């Protein structure tokens, strides 16, 4: 694979951090972390850069790495078997060539971090998370 397992692992960590976020339930609470038990770290706010960081991370990948990241997802989701990985990479390239933005596609999938982790495991690779 062209994409390093470390890069996929970093993506998994950041995607999982994004998955646990929820919308603001009390935007005017005025509380601080001590008063609310630090629950605000699980609330998605305007100053949270997690999604932006994931988009930047994807934008920083070359074409082969982006295709392989999506292919790992296909394997982890069960769309393709590990031995079909080259075909999964080809399909990912075709998807991107047809105009599907990789960042939008990946970030639109619930539990994408878990699926990528499962994909790595199915390919016989261990994520570092």
Whole-number pLDDT of residue 34: 57
Give per-residue pLDDT as tens, 1-52.
899 999 999 999 999 988 765 554 455 555 555 555 555 544 444 455 588 9
Span 79-127, pLDDT tens digits:
999 999 999 999 999 999 999 999 999 999 999 999 999 999 999 999 8
Q: Is the Cβ–Cβ distance between 91 and 72 less than 8 Å?
A: no
Secondary structure (DSSP) of 2-70: -S-HHHHHHHHHHHHHHHT-B--S-TT----TTTTTTGGGGB--TT--HHHHHHHHHHTS-HHHHHHHH
Q: Is the pLDDT of residue 59 over 70?
A: yes
φ/ψ (deg, to 5) at 43: -105, 130
């Amino acid at each position: 694979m062209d994409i390093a397992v470390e890069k996929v692992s970093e993506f998994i960590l950041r995607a999982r951090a994004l998955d646990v976020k929820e919308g603001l339930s009390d935007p005017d609470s005025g509380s601080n972390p001590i008063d609310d038990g630090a629950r605000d770290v699980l609330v998605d706010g305007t100053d949270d850069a997690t999604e932006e960081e994931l988009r930047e991370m994807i934008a920083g990948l070359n074409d082969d790495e982006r295709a392989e990241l999506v292919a790992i997802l296909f394997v982890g989701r069960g769309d393709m078997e590990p031995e079909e990985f080259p075909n999964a990479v080809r399909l990912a390239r075709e998807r991107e060539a047809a105009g599907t933005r990789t960042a939008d596609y990946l970030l639109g999938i619930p539990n994408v971090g878990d699926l990528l982790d499962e994909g790595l495991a199915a390919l016989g690779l261990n994520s570092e998370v």
